[in-house]
Amino acid sequence: MKTESKRQTNISEERDTLWIIDQDHTTIRFFAKHLIISKISGIFKSFEGKVKSVGNDFSTAEIEFKAEVKSLDTGKKERDTHLLSEDFFKASKYPHIHFISTSIRRINSKEFEVEGDITIKDVKKSILMNVHLGGITIDPSGQERAGFSMSAWVNRFDFGLNWNNVMDTGGAIVGEKIDIECDVEIVKRN
């Protein structure tokens, strides 16, 4: 297995190719444990992102992504309202979640580890994402596209998302670990 050492991806002028996230063909999901026995999931409906790379070499990529917090949807309006409130995201004060890559390590031709800084509320922390390149193709209208699946996790307490109640059995109603899974399609712009 070929690996490349981590390197900073901060020399934008070397990157000649711009890719934009296609919102219509991208899903940003999150999962939290509920009562320790099951998971509750949600999505973000409004987001934007871009990738700069040297040609189609994604090991050279710079990635920037922003999600609108108020667009979160767990399928239950009351829960969404609670998540947007002062108990969790404080969406009126902190309207976005922001991610910027800091390094990429190629595992093989389809697998990468992407390290970056995620900012939730006013807290910035480094996270590691496992990324799988599904492929690159030309769509029926002649646009070049690339598809990826990604996974990561964060500890919500690290970002001040501290609300919780404890059950009589001692377990928390909402788990502290939040799993993130994304299926992302990007479109080449130049």
The CATH number of whichever domain residue 155 belongs to comes to: 2.40.128.110
Position 134 in a domain: yes
Report the C-alpha gap between 114 and 104 in whole angstroms: 5
Position 55 in a domain: yes
3-state secondary structure of 115: strand
Which residues in 162-185 are b (16+ Cβ under 10 Å) and which e?
A: eeeeeeeeeeeebbeebbbebebb
Position 2 in a domain: no
Position 116 in a domain: yes
**Length, in residues, of the chain:** 190
pLDDT tens, 92-115? 999 999 999 999 999 999 999 999
Q: Write down the pLDDT at residue 1.
A: 42
Position 3 in a domain: no
State which residues form the domain around 36.
12-188
**Helix intervals (H) in the chain:** 77-84
Q: What is the total count of domains within the chain?
A: 1
* % of the chain surpassing 90 pLDDT: 65
Position 168 in a domain: yes
Q: Write down the pLDDT at residue 5.
A: 41
Average pLDDT, the chain: 86
pTM comes to: 0.84
Q: Write down the pLDDT at residue 145.
A: 96
Position 6 in a domain: no
